[in-house]
């Protein structure tokens, strides 16, 4: 059985209270035990990050990048091990966790390369003999709070840019994926000077709260629920520190009358059912033109029936369990609501008895759903799709935009004018044509509009805007 502890100031720190991590595919199996930190450990971690900040910043971006390159190589050497652990800990199929581990490697290498890029601009001054320019300076100690659904990639796409731009970090992973975080730290943490990359395990209500309230934390990067993200925004605003919050989504695919239906069906099912629908960019709504409705529903029903639901360690499994009993009950409750609000096409609230003690949910599709219904408005975070019919592009865009979220949306069409109109008018941060709603390349900015995100972007060059401040310099003769 695996054991996990916090990593503070270059050493592993034992904690008093311990929590078992269970396998959501077989709840009786204990994957490991983690020690839960408290406010004392948070204070120690932040103090270590504060002490390490000056020398880490002065080390310079090229040297910091070399360390990130080495971290990438270490993670790469253990991709299969990390993938298996993540699958056992949070239930994502092994093919997906392996891809996620490789993405973590690619993220580290991308930001290692950023250490070779210039960080400012030379600006003409009114006095021709004055040298005027801008440079970028790090914030200081940064709190990073990550979710359980991407336990390998999200910590890296937050931590790597924070480190390359000269910040130190205190990372708090979600309770349900703490073992995966611990194993990553075991592989790479000794590369960094003590205090640069700290890891604290614990509950959001204690460790997370202590982190965001700590007076020495100068930036907060969070991915998780809308409720917690809104609280973090309030705290950070009151404290006057930078924050970024990536929260919920209720993402839609529009299928026009001229769409390639086979391509659309494949993208909808992948976007909705991969990771059991437990990602903020998952496809949750299908908005189909009347002329394409019957054919689309028929093909989706047929393809959903072929999905293999099973143990996430089986390489042939397409759909694994949801992460916990609480999530299982929440999704089933929404399916019961859907059975009142729409017409059940596939799946439903009754789960096969032979699935044992795992938190498996059938891939579920509802049709004839009203845009204002709960299953069309609220984030479910499970393998559930609500389909609704429209008569025009204007109506489709109105439905796409008629929710509190604005993360991702896509349209399937062969008409360039239709595609460009949709791209212009969809109120989302990520818009795609003839592709699924889920996923974005690591070199591209990631984030949403409205209630999905705060006013910043993650990944790519956009990360520099959050993890640094601009300093304007004028040197007069």
User: Catalytic residues, which ones?
Assistant: 246, 280
Strand bridging mode 168-172 / 18-23: unpaired
Nearest CA to 430 out of 446, 413, 451 is that of: 446
Under DSSP, the state recorded for 206 is I
Bin 294: left if φ > 0, else alpha if -120 < ψ < 50, else beta. Answer: alpha
Q: What is the DSSP string of 62-119?
A: HHHHHHHHHHHHHHHHTHHHHHHHHHHHH---HHHHHHHHHHHHHHHHHHHHHTTS--
Q: Which two tokens mark 187?
A: 């592989």
Under DSSP, the state recorded for 37 is P
Distances (CA, A) of 441 to 103, 162, 183, 279: 10, 19, 25, 15
Q: How many residues does the chain have?
A: 477
Nearest CA to 278 out of 220, 320, 311, 325 is that of: 320
Q: What is the DSSP string of 331-397?
A: HHHHHHHHHHHSEEEE--S---GGGTTS-----EEEES--TTSHHHHS---SSEEEEEEESSHHHHH
Name the 3-class secondary structure at 264.
helix
Helix (H) or strand (E) holding 399: helix 393-401
Burial class (CB in 10 A: 0-12, 13-18, 19+), 63: exposed
Instruction: Give the phi and the psi of residue 300 in degrees, each rounded to 5.
Output: -65, -45
CB 98 within 8 A of CB 83: yes
Q: Which two tokens mark 103?
A: 């993405």
Query: Which residues have C-beta within 8 Å of that of residue 275, sequence separation ≥ 6?
Result: 92, 96, 149, 282
Query: Which residues have C-beta within 8 Å of that of residue 452, sequence separation ≥ 6?
Result: 246, 247, 248, 249, 280, 405, 406, 407, 428, 429
Q: How far apart are CA 233 and CA 245, in angstroms?
A: 8
């Amino acid at each position: 059985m695996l054991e996990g502890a916090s990593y503070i100031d270059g050493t592993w720190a034992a904690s008093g209270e311990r929590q078992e991590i269970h396998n959501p595919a077989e709840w009786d199996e204990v994957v490991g035990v983690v020690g839960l930190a408290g406010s004392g450990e948070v204070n120690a971690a932040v103090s270590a990050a504060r002490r390490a900040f000056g020398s880490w910043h002065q080390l310079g971006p090229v040297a910091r990048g070399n360390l990130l390159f080495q971290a990438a190589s270490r993670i790469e050497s253990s991709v299969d091990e990390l993938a298996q652990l993540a699958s056992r800990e949070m239930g994502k199929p092994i093919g997906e966790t392996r891809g996620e581990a490789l993405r973590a490697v690619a993220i580290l290498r991308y930001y290692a390369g950023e250490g070779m890029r210039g960080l400012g601009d030379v600006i003409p001054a009114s006095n021709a003999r004055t040298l005027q320019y801008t440079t970028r300076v790090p914030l200081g100690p940064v709190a990073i709070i990550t979710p359980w659904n991407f336990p390998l990639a999200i910590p890296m796409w937050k931590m790597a840019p924070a480190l390359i731009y000269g910040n130190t970090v205190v990372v708090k992973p979600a309770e349900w994926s703490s073992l995966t975080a611990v194993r990553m730290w075991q592989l790479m943490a000794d590369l960094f000077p003590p205090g640069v990359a700290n890891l604290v395990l614990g509950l959001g209500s204690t460790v997370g709260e202590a982190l965001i309230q700590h007076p020495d934390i100068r930036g907060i990067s969070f991915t998780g629920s809308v409720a917690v993200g809104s609280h973090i925004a309030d705290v950070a605003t009151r404290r006057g520190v930078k924050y970024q919050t990536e929260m919920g989504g209720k993402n839609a695919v529009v299928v026009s009358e001229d769409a390639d239906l086979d391509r659309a069906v494949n993208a909808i099912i992948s976007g909705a059912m991969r990771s059991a629908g437990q990602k903020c960019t998952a496809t949750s709504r299908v908005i189909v033109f009347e002329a394409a409705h019957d054919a689309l529903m028929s093909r989706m029903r047929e393809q959903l029936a072929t999905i293999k639901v099973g143990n996430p360690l089986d390489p042939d499994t397409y759909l694994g369990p949801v992460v916990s009993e609480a999530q299982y009950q929440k999704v089933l409750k929404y399916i019961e609501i859907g059975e009142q609000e729409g017409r059940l096409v596939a799946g439903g609230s009754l789960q096969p008895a032979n699935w044992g003690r795992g938190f498996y949910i059938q891939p579920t599709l509802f049709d004839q759903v009203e845009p204002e219904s709960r299953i069309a408005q609220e984030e479910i975070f499970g393998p559930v799709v609500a389909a609704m019919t429209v008569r025009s592009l204007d109506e489709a865009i109105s439905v796409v935009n008629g929710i509190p979220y604005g993360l991702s949306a896509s349209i399937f069409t062969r008409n360039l004018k239709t595609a460009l109109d949709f791209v212009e008018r969809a109120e989302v941060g990520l818009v795609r044509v003839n592709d699924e709603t889920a996923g974005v390349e690591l070199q591209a900015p990631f984030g949403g509009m409205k209630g999905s995100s705060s006013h910043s972007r993650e990944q790519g060059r956009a990360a520099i805007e959050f993890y640094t401040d601009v300093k304007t310099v004028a040197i007069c003769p």
